[in-house]
């Protein structure tokens, strides 16, 4: 999808009417609204859209868009398997069997998402990831796909700039949810409504209350904010740092047990169990992910 500039206008934002100095329609259908001219829009990548979002200057346009996804895996079966999932979601994909082919394509072609296998002939997934940081302008989001399950490998990949990861083998529904979570970033659903429903859970953002199966669950302010953040970013791996900075609004050292305990309480108070269609998954050494289990609902 080509980049298009929209004429200056006002737009309904999370915090009311926002004057738009410069609007850029990016890939993925994301609109970056930049309040301050100090920020060079060209430098906003999907990878750091979180930052813009956290500043309250990023909104997205509604509407579903067809995405173009690169899938790189030396295993033909896996490429086909993933391609089928992607197509079911209404997107198109291009498969690559090795790292070098992918690298060449990334220089000439534009993709909305790259799904990278870790071990590949030619450049490995990690090498591609590192290479992309410097070589590809406006780098698309990257989903790492790996047979490796060691904690260190996963946190290394995420810390190296991957937007998320999937371990093989994984349930097709989970994979679809995770892909959508990455793509949803720019999608309209991040716009804040006063109430939002996720499965059986209804979040009242004004009262800061959660209703589950018509029962009201009492949460503290921080617990609610954590719940809200996780639901909004469901199926997406959030780093502990991101959660702390967003919910506690601090960079300062926060006892790591504090976050563990809050997540634990949210989990038990809201009964976030597979029976209820959700599970909280700890990515050791990195952060948390709230997973939706479609077959549970």
- The residues binding other proteins (CB under 8 A) are 75, 77-78, 80-81, 84, 118-119, 147-151, 168-169, 171-172, 255-258, 260-261, 263-264, 267-268, 273-275, 279-282, 284-285, 293, 295-296
User: Which CB sits closer to other proteins, 213 or 264?
Assistant: 264
Assess contact for 276 and 148: CB atoms under 8 A: no
**Closest CB 168 distance from other proteins, rounded Å:** 4
Nearer to other proteins, 119 or 190 (CB): 119
| Bridge partners of residue 196, in order along the sequence | 203
Task: Tell me, rounded to whole angstroms, the distance of Cα 294 from its chain centroid.
Answer: 18
Q: Where are the alpha helices (DSSP H) in the chain?
A: 49-54, 76-88, 99-108, 125-135, 151-159, 172-184, 221-232, 240-243, 256-269
Q: Residue 23: how many CB atoms within 10 A of its CB?
A: 18
Shortest spacing between CB 273 and other proteins, in angstroms? 7
Q: Which residue has the tokens 């563990």?
A: 260
Q: Is the Cβ of residue 29 or residue 125 nearer to other proteins in the bound state?
A: 125
CB-wise, 220 or 282, nearer to other proteins?
282
- List the alpha helices (DSSP H) in 3-75: 49-54
- The 3-state DSSP class for residue 222 equals helix
In the bound complex, what is the minimum distance in angstroms from residue 256's beta carbon to other proteins? 6
Beta carbon nearer to other proteins, 110 or 155: 155
* Contact call for residues 69 and 95 (beta carbons, < 8 A): no
**Nearer Cβ to other proteins (64/249):** 249
Q: In which element (H, E) is residue 144 found? A: strand 142-146
Question: Contact, 45 vs 69, CB < 8 A?
Answer: no
Structure tokens at 124: 């490995």
Closest separation in Å from C-beta 293 to other proteins: 8
Q: How far is the CB of 97 from other proteins (least distance, A)?
A: 13
Residue 58 beta carbon to other proteins: minimum distance, rounded to whole angstroms: 32
Nearer to other proteins, 20 or 157 (CB): 157
Cα gap 165→38, rounded to integer Å: 33
Query: CB 272 → other proteins: shortest distance, Å?
Result: 9
Instruction: State the residue for tokens 């719940």.
Output: 227
């Amino acid at each position: 999808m080509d980049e298009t500039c929209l004429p200056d206008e006002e737009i309904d934002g999370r915090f009311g009417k926002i004057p738009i100095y410069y609007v850029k329609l990016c890939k993925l259908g994301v609109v970056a609204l930049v309040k301050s001219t100090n920020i060079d829009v060209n430098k906003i990548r999907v990878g750091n859209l979180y930052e813009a979002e956290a500043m309250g200057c990023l909104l997205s346009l509604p509407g579903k868009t067809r995405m173009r996804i690169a899938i790189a895996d030396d295993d033909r079966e896996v490429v086909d398997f993933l391609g089928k999932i992607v197509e079911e979601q209404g997107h198109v994909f291009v498969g690559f069997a090795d790292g070098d082919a992918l690298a060449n394509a990334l220089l000439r072609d534009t993709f909305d998402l790259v799904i990278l296998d870790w071990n590949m002939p030619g450049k490995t997934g990690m090498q591609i990831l590192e290479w992309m940081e410097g070589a590809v302008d406006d780098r698309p989001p990257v989903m790492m796909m790996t047979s490796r399950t060691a904690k260190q490998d996963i946190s290394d990949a995420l810390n190296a700039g991957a937007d998320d990861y999937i371990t093989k083998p994984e349930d097709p529904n989970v994979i679809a949810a995770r892909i959508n979570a990455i793509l949803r970033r720019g999608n309209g659903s991040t716009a804040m409504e006063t109430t939002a429903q996720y499965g059986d859970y209804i979040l009242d953002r004004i009262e800061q209350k959660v209703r589950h199966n018509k029962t009201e669950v009492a949460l503290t302010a921080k617990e609610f904010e954590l719940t809200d953040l996780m639901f909004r970013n469901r199926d997406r791996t959030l780093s502990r740092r991101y959660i702390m900075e967003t919910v506690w609004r601090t960079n300062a050292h926060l006892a790591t047990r504090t976050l563990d305990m809050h997540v634990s309480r949210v989990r038990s108070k809201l009964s976030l169990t597979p029976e209820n269609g959700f599970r909280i998954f700890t990515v050791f050494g990195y952060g948390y992910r709230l997973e939706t289990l479609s077959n549970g609902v």
